[in-house]
Chains A and B, each alone.
Chain A
Amino acid sequence: MRVALFVTCVNDALYPATGIATVRLLERLGVEVDFPPAQTCCGQAQYNTGYRHETEPLVRRMGTVFEGYDHVVTPSGSCAAMVRENYPRIARRAAAEGRGDGLGAIADSLVPRVHELSEFLVDVLGVTDVGAYFPHTVTYHPSCHGLRTLGLGERPRRLLEAVRGLELRELPGAEECCGFGGTFALKNPDVSAAMGADKADHALATGAEVLCGADSSCLMHLDGILRRRGSPLRPLHLAEILAATEGEPHV
């Protein structure tokens, strides 16, 4: 089984610990992971801001970089959703506009092979207990694209519930958006911050030590709000919790 890690541009540049944790976790589960260094970005920011044409070269790059791998794993629900939901759309539109060559085949090939981390663990590897140890109280925010576009459902929660020492606390209004939304946070700063503030309030009300999510960009936004408040609540990616063990605890 040839497995590639698609780390995503946000994790690569800002949250390498998420990528490192994903590699350690998968290797612990016996998966040999490769990181093709020619990978960059899925193009979500460009596409969602209205620059569809500018996304096409990145679709091609994704196709080339991950050609030949049985599975492509990414610790980002929104990037996985971008591939699964929008690559076929981009290919269709490009074909209709006469620029289709090969994009449809790239999309068709990538869609079934790209998995968000919790999907890969539960659906492909068939594990929910990954042998993790994390003795902290945790509340989980299911990011919108993972929740609605990918339909991750209970997968991340089942993984967390199987972690030894971890106490999971319900997040009120969990399914509501945190207000990040890519360039939305820049274009509508007031509404975005108001949504983030409510999410932070809900997370703080749980009394948990850690706010867990499976999308680094949502966590970045919430981390920015929590740090501005001087709050001790710590946002942490699901991969980092699942990677922690008694021998190698998360620090």
Chain B
Amino acid sequence: MSGTFVGMPAFPAAARDAVHDPTLRATLRHATHTIRDKRARAVAELPDWQRLREAGKRVKDHTLRHLDRYLLQLEESVVLAGGTVHWAADADEANRIVADLVKATGEREVVKVKSMATQEIGLNEALAAEGITAYETDLAELIVQLGHDRPSHILVPAIHRNRGEIRDIFRAEMGAWGRPAPDGLGDSPAELAEAARLHLREKFLRARVGVSGANFMVAETGTLVVLESEGNGRMCLTLPETLISVVGIEKTVPTWRDLEIFLQTLPRSSTAERMNPYTSMWTGTADGDGPSVFHLVLLDNGRTDTLADEVGRQALRCIRCSACLNVCPVYERAGGHAYGSVYPGPIGAILSPQLRGTTSEIDASLPYASSLCGACYEVCPVAIDIPEVLVHLRERVARQGGPGHRVEKAAMKAASWAMDRPAVLAAAERAATRTRRLHLARLPGAGAWTAERELPRIPEKSFRDWWKEREE
């Protein structure tokens, strides 16, 4: 089963393993640098990229400001088109709704198109507890599921696995889930894809219930939209009799026309493609075409709380392209698992602590999992100022206190006090220079710094003392 992230250690400890795993580091570096370079080329092709970015930001901000109104309009449109709408305040409620809907069909298995919302709420585990098996059909999700693993990237959940590892997982695990891997399976991309195709085809043709997420929901028409690359989504959305879509409320856009922006910015930002191979749209139900029963579960799970925070709410603009992960130097070294959430990387560092709160050790550490270099903000196609939100959340964590923060708060207050008194600062500098020959290169107390770095040398004289002597 794809495990959950409960009880994760804080980010610095979780990141340490990845930092010291040379294979993982090399795999991640290669993958993120390849996608980042391709993305830069795909974006550079559009002369109006900055305007598209601004337009996307504005549409999302407008929708979020009036989300109550647009959600009601969406509900009305979906119902009018023959669908049923369910409102879920949290993960438990959403899981219960989906489990009851599946049980009502009498089925014991569902096929899933990659959906982060269902991972966020742990739907697969909740269904398993009710005796229902959920089959992931996205290739990377399949690898993660068969490997009893957790996703580590928004777009490429198995980015931490190389081809050899994937072949081994297929050989060892496919048989327990359905059609086994072909004899003598090699590790070429074509062979691995064919093995997954054969394995999954059986599931698509047998399944009578599909579960999906959505990239967008159009309020005026009640249309849901999924963008994907492999065609598995198209299979899950059209073959089953019953389709259940679980979608975060922030995925709403007001009008059909708004898609014009995001269908340009999302593929280029995520897979560096001008257009993604499959864009599937469904509006309620239609006789003799696709599922005859359609349920939409609208998921809150911390989103309205996030909406109430005027700085933090911009995180809800996210269209899950993962461009920020691919340029993040911290993600590149720490890997996705260290973030302890289905949302890793810079966006995860601001989304998870807002959706889940900052009470757990991992959530309190996430706002600090960044050097604030700003590369994430620069590439974000909806201009989320991730560094701004990180600092804002650090303030929240610092205020709430906890281990380490009492000492830190005292130190910060002392620093501000001294920095507001130039004479105190000058005296401290003089004390440091007078004792400079006594300073050790590796301080026992500064272990974190000196483990792999020398401390700076204290100069003979501060600048202000040089200036003072010069003026005299």
Residues of A within 8 A of B (CB): 7, 9, 11-17, 19-20, 23, 35, 37-41, 43, 45-52, 54-55, 57-58, 61, 89, 144-145, 148-149, 175-177, 179-197, 220-221, 223-225, 227-228
Contact = CB atoms under 8 A, between A and B. Distances in A.
B412 A46 contact: yes
> Main SS of chain B's interface residues?
helix
B201 interface: no
> Main SS of chain A's interface residues?
helix
A188 B452 contact: no
Interface stretch (B1-9, B106-114, B455-463): B455-463
Interface in B264-287: none
B416 A43 contact: yes
5 contacts: A16-B459, A20-B463, A45-B415, A50-B394, A50-B397
B375 interface: yes
Given A12-B464, A191-B19, A223-B456, A184 B371 contact: yes
Given A54-B416, A224-B454, A188 B374 contact: no
B432 A46 contact: no
A194 B448 contact: no
Given A48-B394, A191-B19, A193-B452, A180 B371 contact: yes
B453 A225 contact: yes
B95 to A, nearest CB: 34
Interface in B384-436: 388, 391, 393-399, 408-409, 412-413, 415-416, 418-422, 425-426, 428-429, 432
Given A49-B398, A179-B329, A193 B451 contact: yes
Nearest to A180: B371
B368 interface: yes
B316 interface: no
Interface of B: 11-12, 15-16, 19-20, 25, 329-330, 333-334, 367-375, 377-378, 388, 391, 393-399, 408-409, 412-413, 415-416, 418-422, 425-426, 428-429, 432, 448-449, 451-459, 461-464, 466-468
B373 A144 contact: yes
A12 B16 CA distance: 34
A24 to B, nearest CB: 11
A16 B466 contact: yes
A19 to B, nearest CB: 4
Contacts of B393: 50
Given A50-B394, A51-B409, A197-B452, A191 B15 contact: yes
Contacts of B370: 181, 184
A190 B453 contact: no
Contacts of A187: 12, 368
B429 A228 contact: no
A48 B422 CA distance: 22
Given A195-B333, A224-B455, A144 B416 contact: no
A78 B215 CA distance: 37
Given A40-B420, A43-B416, A192 B371 contact: yes
Contacts of B429: 12-13
B374 A149 contact: yes
A191 B452 contact: no
A175 B329 CA distance: 11
Contacts of A184: 368, 370-372
